[in-house]
Structure 1
Amino acid sequence: MHALQIVATVVAWLAFVAAVVMAARAVRHFVRLFRVGAADPDRFTDKGRRTGTMLREILGHTRMLKWTRIGVAHWFVMVAFGALIFTLVEAHGEVSNPRFHWPLFGGWAVYGLVMELIAGLCWLGISFLIVTRWINLPRWKSRSRFLGSTAWQAYYVEWTVFTICASIFAIRAFKVAAGDFPYPTWATPLSHGLGALFSGLSESTALNLVTVAALVKILVSWIWFIVISLNLTMGVAWHRFLAFFNIFFKRNADGAVALGPLRPMMSGGKPLDFEEADPEKDPFGVSQVEQFTWKGLLDFSTCTECGRCQSQCPAWNTGKPLSPKLMIMSLRDHAHAKAPYLMAGGGKDAAGEETATQEQLAGVDALALAEADRPLIGGPDDNGIIDPDVLWSCTTCGACVEQCPVDIEHVDHIVDMRRYQVLIESSFPTEAGVMLRNLENKGNPWGANPNTREDWTKSLDFEIPRVGSDEAADFEYLYWVGCAGAFDDRAKKTAKAVATLLHEAGVKFAILGEGETCTGDPARRMGNEFLFQMMAQQNVETLNEAFEGREGKAQRKIVASCPHCFNTLGREYPQVGGEYSVVHHTQLLADLVAAGKLTPVTPVDGGVTFHDPCYLGRHNRVFAPPREVLGAVADARASQVGSTGDGAAADGGGVTEMSRFAERSFCCGAGGARMWMEERIGKRINIERVEEARSTGAKTLAVACPFCMTMMSDGVNATKPDGVDAEQDVEVVDVATVLLRSLGDGARG
């Protein structure tokens, strides 16, 4: 062994030992930090399904491939990260013996081919990712998804991968030049091609260069582990390890994203019982970072800073201070800075009192103690971690959760922080307080007289049976009108259209009338879990009485016009003992059209575009039914075009889609109780969405939610072009109204 090989071997193994020691310390830190978080036992259920979900998401890259080119490139890099460990072990042999090959399969052409493909495609993939990051740098794009990300860390990781791939091919090329490469040209064409460039080297020089290239590969690899072990908040690196666990422990074992129902408030790993809860002992929401569950702390550390959540967030895209990415990064940095204090036993109980003794905290450094004194929620003057404007800008639309490639549960964390602010601090936007008082006193967010809940039915030319009457004895569906349908003038039109369509189709349905009250959705999204629980339990009692004698969920059918009611009744009421089969009115109407019970005959002029409500689409995966209804109307148009001999083509598919639709649909701005809060910062979200709808050229903007109806209508009025009459402008109507108009005058109520 020459001196070069001796020195290289010593350096390589010293780097290996240092990396292993540092990485072990880092892993120990993570484990201790996560154990500080609150209990969350539900994450350990269905281990088999969770394993399948994890393997499917990681090996299949199901989340990343939503962004196809980036996803493909990332998949090549991910595969290489695991597979190229063989070449790292091989490099340790090559620093001391440049002729080293794996025993048994080291000279097998298939092995050479596989490593060639993996390294080559990884090299291409990481190069593409580097260029993509550069093109999307904040210096070029003011609202870049990388704005706020730690640039040096990302580039360090990417160039490390690039250098490792380059080192692999350098080793192979020098072996080719030395005449000691066992793989045929057909299996390793790139290695042979590069080796030809060094054909003039002597054998000894080429072998020495093999040692040097192997040492470079080893040092780059193990120094990377040392660097990330010294930077525990380096999510762009640590997600390579933590993502396996974060995906495995995601909320839903079947792989569904953490949307739809909110998790109940928890204490000691169990849902909080408000009748027995003690604010002095039980956490009411989250006021300290350690009060997040251990899964929450894992979420924060797993963030890759890729900014996909940020790029899709309606608040961020309209100039609000909320960036889901920056919020998660702030919580991550705070958690790790506070970790020495927490691991020493520090912390505060529900009453805000310190739980550790002075002796326990004696060895904690001053920076960690200072971090422990920072409030979780507070403005710059309070030195808070999360600004209140960040917290209250969220519409809970779920775009961040939908796009996150490592399954971070942003909405749950935001609502948990809101819960503390509302229930303990009584700190929330003033106008939202009016809404809460209306819910408590009148049972609806508008504060309307509950005795007028049935007034919308007076203009109909048929009677709607009330639950409990003889006429409603054999109803099939309970029509949950919702507060908007009962009290908001625009939403009343939708309620009338739905009732008329059900009547025309011969569906037996009934309403609760004055017995109906708000589901509690706005209270829960705002953070008032106590009020939600109270309203939910009242409604469950009412509904169970309405369905008395009907056993089983399938016999307890509800149709709802509001996606928020649809989500709450069907997916959150089971948390308080209410099991019902709930459909949205567009689902039922689509079934009735498909069954031939409703047949559109009249076209809608000017084209139709559809706005996906967040709580119908992303939260509950109902994308097709509204489009099926609109498509049936388009088919009626096509039939009319054919029968009249007009050469004009019908609109393909029935809907002219906006640039952002379905899973990537842009919020109207009303969710998360934002319907009852003023939008004082940045551009109004509904204006942004209406401008997108106008760009399609469609004259009808179809919606399927009363909140969306209000926001889109206001947006259309605010952006009406000069010289255009309201009658000639874009019209905002519910899908049910579009269908009713298409049936002809004879079917209208």
Structure 2
Amino acid sequence: MLVRLILGLLMTVAGLAVAGKRVAFLYRLIKAGQPDTKRSDDLGARVFAQAREVFGQRKLLKWSVPGLAHFFTFWGFVILASVYLEAYGALFDEKFAIPWIGHWAVLGFLQDFIAVAVAVSLGVFTVIRIRQAPERKDRASRFYGSHTGGAWLILVMIFNVVWTMFFFRGASSASGNFPYDSGAYVSLGVGNLLEPLGHPTTEVLETVGLLLHIAVMLVFLSIVLYSKHLHIFVAPINVSAKRLPDALGPLLPMESAGKPIDFEDPGEDDTFGRGKIGDFTWKGMLDFTTCTECGRCQSQCPAWNTGKPLSPKLVIMNLRDNLFEEAPYILAGTEHEGARPLVGPEDDGGVIDPDVLWSCTTCGACVEQCPVDIEHVDHIVDMRRYQVMIESAFPTELGGLFKNLETKGNPWGQNNSERLAWTKDLGFDVPVFDGELAEDVEYVYWVGCAGAFDDQARKTVRATAELLHIAGVRYVVLGKEESCTGDPARRAGNEFLFQMMAQQTAETLNAVFEGREPRLRKIVTTCPHCLNTLSREYPQLDGHYEVVHHTQLLNRLVRGGQLTPVKPVEDGPRVTYHDPCYLGRHNKVYTPPRELVGATGAELAEMPRHADRALCCGAGGARMWMEEQIGKRINLERVDEAIATDAETIVTGCPFCRVMLTDGLVQRQSEQKAENVDVRDVAQLLLERVKATDTSAPKA
């Protein structure tokens, strides 16, 4: 008894010393990151996120089989902590039992059950890793680029925890020291097998099993702290510090030393974006150390899926590697000449290749699927900000975009005098803001640059305006008073230009809504990018509005009886709906567009990737204005998915998506494919069915 106590305590002291040294290093390193002051607000929501995502494993369970296996494995770590409490108690008292509950058969059963479930889960993980092995599936494997050797080691170590547990508990049962008379069915069964060996032998086996069980845990602890499986400990912290609310929504404003940058009078030491690894906030550094290398982000990334070099997983892994490379200098607060450039060609030692950085569409599929709430998009845009504003290093096409935004107030470079061209020949007068907002006006209809200047998008805004007219909704458009919200500039990394445009637009809207409280400052728009920027990002500039997407408003009007679509007598057309990223993942609007499709009587055929797993059209992140020269075009990939549904019409709710899908469809039709398919907005589909029987004057 004394020998095992001494050995057990010596092992524990040594193991905790090794682990403690690593924990202290990681704490100091992450703490050395730049301040981030917005990670402790809304404590209630953060506690709920912890319960739902860590203990409930919400995101992991979206992937049913591996998710369920991980669910049992996670709870194995939680519940089997009680077994280790019993094990350490047994070092001091061979008949130790947890006070009050230590003899409950229910606890013994739960311990054995979860251990068996973990063992079965290990088998599931083994099959998944063999089937998904990069050696077999190359880039199609979500484990491509991951440290697979370390993953196998962890599976072995978890198995060691399970078998040593049953060995120790079985020997304890055979020796008469086990605290459970029933319930712990596996441990008692092993005890029955060992009992014929005799009491002296089983006592020795109990000591051996106990020390093995403790030793495995201590070795496992060090392996976890020094490997990618660090997420076991830091993931709960990362989830607690996640962005709120639960949608990607706004990009974070640029800060330096934890304070917003004053672009009109920046400080000498202000940091514009991330130019080196030490520029990231502590939350960014926590993100890098939290990555599990599971590859869920990679499997959903539209760039990676179309042969481009961007893998969100590899971006985070490379940043993590660079963080540890630079750790001695970060902790010392010094710089050195041998530091690798954060963004630069891979052949020149760059951590992130420019082709990787500029392939991102900011669709947010990576963030949506990440089970530990890593914020890939924020980090990518922050690096873009430094490249644009400090290095002036960006794709040449963006130069034209920035110039058009700065001089013309829109990405197309069109004259503002043409902003009302879409209203011609509508058959009714579109009300235009005349300097004062009437009391009975419910909405400002934000047309957006695409709706004003793109021929395809004009069809959407015309259809929406006509539906609002039929429903009797009181609205006004701003016409020449409108300007770009600045979304393309911000996603491209030109935060200075965004701030300039957004300040101007916010001032315009604040003047329009002067005297109205925020909840009555209602805006409707057909552009999800405008929706996201006006509703989620303008509050950063003291612009507070209630913004809805046109599909949300139209759906309310249909449900309220103000619009009455008449379903066709025969079966309706077969359509497939493409989820715009900035409407879906960024703002969690999935149902209203689908309900509108159903209201028209159309048959909805979903693509394999839809809703929160929808594939991007390729236009986001200012990619709309950049050439796509690597791999397959993302819009072609999406159009091919849509064509495969045998739908007659591809419907969407975003002008950028419509352009990309139309371009992709035109290319496929030039190849004699899907010749009778067209692309339309949900509003057009609805208007057709409303006008089928009713083209009368507005309803009262």
What TM-score, normalized to structure 1? 0.88
Instruction: Identify if the C-alpha distance between structure 1 residues 276 and 174 changes in structure 2 by more than 3 Å, giving closer, same or farther.
Output: same
Match of 1:621 among 576, 582, 588: 588
Match of 2:684 among 715, 737, 749: 737
Q: Does 1:136 align with 2:132?
A: yes
Q: Mean Cα displacement is larger for which, 412-421 or 67-76? A: 67-76
2:136 alignment partner, SS class: coil
Q: Does 1:243 align with 2:235?
A: yes
Q: CA deviation at 1:174?
A: 2.9
Q: CA deviation at 1:183?
A: 2.7
1:141 alignment partner, SS class: helix
Q: CA deviation at 1:469?
A: 6.4
| Residue type at the aligned position of 2:241 | F
Q: Mean Cα displacement is larger for which, 597-606 or 517-526? A: 597-606
Aligned equivalent of 1:356 = none
Aligned equivalent of 1:88 = 84
Aligned equivalent of 1:345 = 333
Q: CA deviation at 1:52?
A: 3.4
Match of 1:546 among 512, 523, 526: 512
Instruction: Identify if the C-alpha distance between structure 1 residues 602 and 120 changes in structure 2 by more than 3 Å, giving closer, same or farther.
Output: closer
Q: CA deviation at 1:120?
A: 2.2
On the 8 A contact 1:559/1:588 being kept in 2, the answer is yes
2:679 alignment partner, SS class: strand
On the 8 A contact 2:344/2:352 being kept in 1, the answer is yes
What is the rounded CA distance, in whole Å, between the counterparts of 1:510 and 1:145 in structure 2? 49
What is the rounded CA distance, in whole Å, between the counterparts of 1:673 and 1:684 in structure 2? 15
On the 8 A contact 1:99/1:207 being kept in 2, the answer is no
What CA deviation, in whole Å up to 9, does each residue of 1:120-174 have, x standing for no partner? 2222223322332232221232211111111122122222111111111122333
The aligned runs of 1:302-451 (5 Å cut-off) are 302-347=290-335, 373-451=339-417
Q: CA deviation at 1:209?
A: 2.0
Aligned equivalent of 1:115 = 111
Q: CA deviation at 1:680?
A: 0.7
Aligned equivalent of 1:566 = 531
Q: CA deviation at 1:108?
A: 3.6
| Residue type at the aligned position of 1:530 | F
Aligned equivalent of 2:273 = 285
Match of 2:483 among 478, 499, 517: 517
| Residue type at the aligned position of 2:151 | A
What CA deviation, in whole Å up to 9, does each residue of 1:333-391 have, x standing for no partner? 111121111111214xxxxxxxxxxxxxxxxxxxxx57x52111011232111111111
Q: Does 1:21 align with 2:26?
A: no
On the 8 A contact 1:464/1:511 being kept in 2, the answer is yes
Instruction: Identify if the C-alpha distance between structure 1 residues 609 and 694 changes in structure 2 by more than 3 Å, giving closer, same or farther.
Output: same
2:444 alignment partner, SS class: strand
Instruction: Identify if the C-alpha distance between structure 1 residues 94 and 554 changes in structure 2 by more than 3 Å, giving closer, same or farther.
Output: closer
What is the rounded CA distance, in whole Å, between the counterparts of 1:77 and 1:491 in structure 2? 49
Q: CA deviation at 1:180?
A: 4.9
Instruction: Identify if the C-alpha distance between structure 1 residues 748 and 423 changes in structure 2 by more than 3 Å, giving closer, same or farther.
Output: farther
Aligned equivalent of 2:55 = 59
On the 8 A contact 1:98/1:210 being kept in 2, the answer is no
| Residue type at the aligned position of 2:263 | F
Kindly report the root-mean-square deviation, in angstroms, between the aligned alpha carbons of the 2 structures.
Answer: 2.2
The aligned runs of 1:347-746 (5 Å cut-off) are 347=335, 373-468=339-434, 474-549=440-515, 551-603=516-568, 605-634=572-601, 651=603, 655-720=604-669, 723=672, 726=675, 728=676, 730-744=677-691
Q: Mean Cα displacement is larger for which, 675-684 or 44-53? A: 44-53
What is the rounded CA distance, in whole Å, between the counterparts of 1:344 and 1:437 in structure 2? 42
Q: CA deviation at 1:182?
A: 4.7
Instruction: Identify if the C-alpha distance between structure 1 residues 479 and 102 changes in structure 2 by more than 3 Å, giving closer, same or farther.
Output: closer
Q: CA deviation at 1:245?
A: 1.3
On the 8 A contact 2:168/2:213 being kept in 1, the answer is no
On the 8 A contact 2:40/2:241 being kept in 1, the answer is yes
What is the rounded CA distance, in whole Å, between the counterparts of 2:632 and 2:176 in structure 1? 66
Instruction: Identify if the C-alpha distance between structure 1 residues 413 and 514 changes in structure 2 by more than 3 Å, giving closer, same or farther.
Output: same
Instruction: Identify if the C-alpha distance between structure 1 residues 692 and 163 changes in structure 2 by more than 3 Å, giving closer, same or farther.
Output: same
| Residue type at the aligned position of 1:241 | F
1:139 alignment partner, SS class: helix
Instruction: Identify if the C-alpha distance between structure 1 residues 469 and 343 changes in structure 2 by more than 3 Å, giving closer, same or farther.
Output: closer
Q: CA deviation at 1:420?
A: 0.6
2:651 alignment partner, SS class: strand
On the 8 A contact 1:466/1:472 being kept in 2, the answer is no
Q: Does 1:171 align with 2:168?
A: yes
What is the rounded CA distance, in whole Å, between the counterparts of 2:597 and 2:206 in structure 1? 66
Aligned equivalent of 2:142 = 145
Instruction: Identify if the C-alpha distance between structure 1 residues 493 and 209 changes in structure 2 by more than 3 Å, giving closer, same or farther.
Output: same
What is the rounded CA distance, in whole Å, between the counterparts of 1:723 and 1:268 in structure 2? 57
1:459 alignment partner, SS class: coil
Match of 1:220 among 216, 238, 241: 216
Instruction: Identify if the C-alpha distance between structure 1 residues 422 and 200 changes in structure 2 by more than 3 Å, giving closer, same or farther.
Output: same
Q: CA deviation at 1:66?
A: 1.7
**Runs of 5+ consecutive residues of structure 1 not aligned to the other structure:** 348-368, 638-650
Q: CA deviation at 1:222?
A: 0.7
What is the rounded CA distance, in whole Å, between the counterparts of 1:682 and 1:394 in structure 2? 14
The aligned runs of 1:190-269 (5 Å cut-off) are 190-229=186-225, 231=226, 234-236=227-229, 238-252=230-244, 256-257=246-247, 259-269=248-258
On the 8 A contact 2:437/2:512 being kept in 1, the answer is no
Q: Does 1:276 align with 2:265?
A: yes
Instruction: Identify if the C-alpha distance between structure 1 residues 138 and 545 changes in structure 2 by more than 3 Å, giving closer, same or farther.
Output: same
| Residue type at the aligned position of 2:56 | G
On the 8 A contact 2:527/2:654 being kept in 1, the answer is yes
On the 8 A contact 1:501/1:740 being kept in 2, the answer is yes
What is the rounded CA distance, in whole Å, between the counterparts of 1:670 and 1:49 in structure 2? 32
Q: CA deviation at 1:471?
A: 10
Q: CA deviation at 1:102?
A: 4.9
What is the rounded CA distance, in whole Å, between the counterparts of 2:672 and 2:33 in structure 1? 60
1:173 alignment partner, SS class: helix
Q: Does 1:75 align with 2:42?
A: no
Among the aligned pairs, what percent are the same residue?
A: 52
What is the rounded CA distance, in whole Å, between the counterparts of 2:522 and 2:99 in structure 1? 67
Aligned equivalent of 1:642 = none
What TM-score, normalized to structure 2? 0.94
What CA deviation, in whole Å up to 9, does each residue of 1:32-75 have, x standing for no partner? 11121111112132334423322332122222222223222222
On the 8 A contact 1:740/1:747 being kept in 2, the answer is no
Match of 1:297 among 285, 291, 314: 285
Q: Mean Cα displacement is larger for which, 61-70 or 389-398? A: 61-70
On the 8 A contact 2:668/2:674 being kept in 1, the answer is no
Instruction: Identify if the C-alpha distance between structure 1 residues 633 and 214 changes in structure 2 by more than 3 Å, giving closer, same or farther.
Output: same
Q: Mean Cα displacement is larger for which, 24-33 or 668-677? A: 24-33
Instruction: Identify if the C-alpha distance between structure 1 residues 205 and 633 changes in structure 2 by more than 3 Å, giving closer, same or farther.
Output: same
Match of 2:43 among 23, 40, 47: 47
What is the rounded CA distance, in whole Å, between the counterparts of 1:614 and 1:102 in structure 2? 51
| Residue type at the aligned position of 2:52 | R
Instruction: Identify if the C-alpha distance between structure 1 residues 700 and 214 changes in structure 2 by more than 3 Å, giving closer, same or farther.
Output: same
1:736 alignment partner, SS class: helix
| Residue type at the aligned position of 1:174 | A
Aligned equivalent of 1:640 = none
